[in-house]
Amino acid sequence: MGRALLAEAGPSCSGTPAHAFPRLLPAPVSVTHRQGQAGAAMAAALIWISLLVGLLEGLGGTEAQQTTLHPLVGRVFVHTLDHESFLQRPEHVFSVSAPIPITYHAHLQGHPDLPRWLRYTQRSPYQPGFLYGTATPEDRGHQIIEVTAYNRDSFNTTQQMLVLLIGDPEGPLLPYQAEFLVRSHDVEEVLPSTPASRFLTALGGLWEPAELQLVNITSALDRGGRVPLPIEGRKEGVYIKVGSASPFSTCLKMVVSPDSHARCAQGQPPLLSCYDTLAPHFRVDWCNVSLVDKSVPEPADEAPAPGDGILEHDLFFCPPTEATARDFLTDALVTLLVPLLVALLLTLLLAYVMCCRREGRLKRDLATSDIQMVHHRTIRGNTEELRQMASSREVPRPLSTLPMFNVHTGERLPPQVDSAQVPLILDQH
């Protein structure tokens, strides 16, 4: 395509003149055009290399990280989803102080949602996420949680596998459990280990001597609480359940006494015989404190014994033994005939009023005065006389009053033409 036919001067090898066999020679190409082609080829090569490197990195990153955790039955479990554990960046990028928004999605392997004992929370994409909950004896065993992190800036995803080996706790049981409503914190503010340890240390002043352990942490919104107004200092609230092997202190027993409940019903603070060691770091609603004592086993419910299906004799329930026969013909006739009879009477009354109570012209004329009748007849007679005089006059009518009068030519239709058959608009010539 890029060649031209040029005749080379001089004889050919066989002695034939040069003009008889034209020779194909390349057309002259500029240096700039060659450099542009070389640059385009190099750019295409770089693009393909970058795509290949990205594909290899993506294939290498598909293998999810695996972490093994050991939750305990009856103990609170908290796992922090930290941004640094999911980010895959070079080392020199970590020096940048700009935060990266990351959101998480966690679910049980093979299921669309988390198990019933595990919850997930994250306040904003710039803060870490938390998996927390308390396993029950029915959840004992092996569970795999799949966590997918979404980078909202680069739209990259990273997957991590959490292998949960749920087992029984060591040490004594915790039959004495107390639940407190802390209104000064949100759930993600007490999930880290530092605030939780501070709460247990402060509660030790009210419940001693006891080795306290966290049993469960639940957001107040999950217990029917309302979302607070966006005002500074307003929190959602969190329920913290603490267990111990030691009995409740006298101070805690007084808080849940009937006298304290009566004071709370009247809007007064409950009875508290000891110093509130939780204040001012934790604002506890002492009217929502509940104590559970599991030291005494509850009696097992008796299994219901199947009966013969016949109710026993009861004075308040005496069903009739037999029902008497009833004839519903009379009720049916009354239900159908009475409305029909009423409709017939109303129809006859309406017909009488419309047809039989008409006044007529004679009664109308008799009720009208003679002067009014003479006046009416005079007007009608004068009107008829004027109409006859107008129809018998021989003076020609004005042109403007004719049904078809052309203002430009002055033409008018002949008198014998029926004006009712003449079109409204004539052709203008």
How many other C-beta atoms are found inside a 10 Å radius of the C-beta of residue 111? 9
- pTM of structure: 0.56
Backbone φ, ψ for residue 193 (5° rounding): -70, -35
Answer for the pair 163, 67: CB distance below 8 angstroms, yes or no: yes
Q: What's at 313, amino acid-wise?
A: H
Answer for the pair 164, 142: CB distance below 8 angstroms, yes or no: yes
User: Is the Cα dihedral 127, 199, 68, 222 positive or negative?
Assistant: negative
Determine the Cα–Cα distance for residues 92 and 315; give it in Å rounded to an integer. Answer: 88
Determine the pLDDT at residue 12.
39
**284: alpha, beta or left? (left if phi > 0; alpha if psi -120 to 50):** beta
Answer for the pair 159, 67: CB distance below 8 angstroms, yes or no: no
Determine the pLDDT at residue 41.
67
Q: Is the pLDDT of residue 259 over 70?
A: yes
Determine the Cα–Cα distance for residues 252 and 428; give it in Å rounded to an integer. Answer: 112
- Residues 121-130 have pLDDT tens digits of 999 999 999 9
How far does CA 349 lie from the centroid of its chain?
62
User: Is the Cα dihedral 255, 256, 260, 265 positive or negative?
Assistant: positive
| 210, burial (CB in 10 Å: exposed 0-12, middle 13-18, buried 19+) | buried
Determine the Cα–Cα distance for residues 282 and 184; give it in Å rounded to an integer. Answer: 6
- Residues 338-381 have pLDDT tens digits of 999 999 999 999 998 888 877 667 777 778 888 888 888 899 99
Q: Is the pLDDT of residue 24 over 80?
A: no
- Among the listed residues 118, 31, 30, 132, the one whose alpha carbon sits nearest the alpha carbon of residue 79: 132
Average pLDDT over residues 377-404: 76
Average pLDDT over residues 244-262: 90
Q: Is the pLDDT of residue 329 over 80?
A: yes
Partners of 290 in the β-ladder = 179
User: Is the Cα dihedral 24, 29, 33, 37 positive or negative?
Assistant: positive
- Among the listed residues 195, 263, 208, the one whose alpha carbon sits nearest the alpha carbon of residue 235: 195
Kindly write down the DSSP assignment for every residue of 163-195, as one continuous string: EEEEBPPPS----EEEEEEETT--HHHHSSHHH
- Residues 54-91 have pLDDT tens digits of 555 544 444 568 899 999 999 999 999 998 888 765 44
Determine the Cα–Cα distance for residues 182 and 240; give it in Å rounded to an integer. Answer: 7
Window from 102-111, 367-376, 390-399 with minimum mean pLDDT: 390-399
Partners of 6 in the β-ladder = 23
Answer for the pair 254, 272: CB distance below 8 angstroms, yes or no: yes
Of the chain, the end-to-end C-alpha distance in Å amounts to: 73
Average pLDDT over residues 24-52: 56
Determine the pLDDT at residue 239.
95
- Residues 146-160 have pLDDT tens digits of 999 999 988 889 999
Of 3 and 411, which is predicted with more confidence? 411
- Which 8-state DSSP code applies to residue 76? E
State which H helix or E strand residue 106 sits in.
strand 102-108
Torsion from C-alpha of 417, 421, 427, 429, nearest 10 degrees? -10
How many other C-beta atoms are found inside a 10 Å radius of the C-beta of residue 85? 14
Q: Is the pLDDT of residue 302 over 70?
A: yes
Going by DSSP bridges, is the β-strand pair 213-219/238-244 parallel, antiparallel, or unpaired? antiparallel
Going by DSSP bridges, is the β-strand pair 213-219/102-108 parallel, antiparallel, or unpaired? unpaired
Angstrom CA distances, 66 to 41, 82, 110, 306, 406, stand at 43, 15, 16, 52, 104
- Among the listed residues 337, 140, 133, the one whose alpha carbon sits nearest the alpha carbon of residue 216: 133
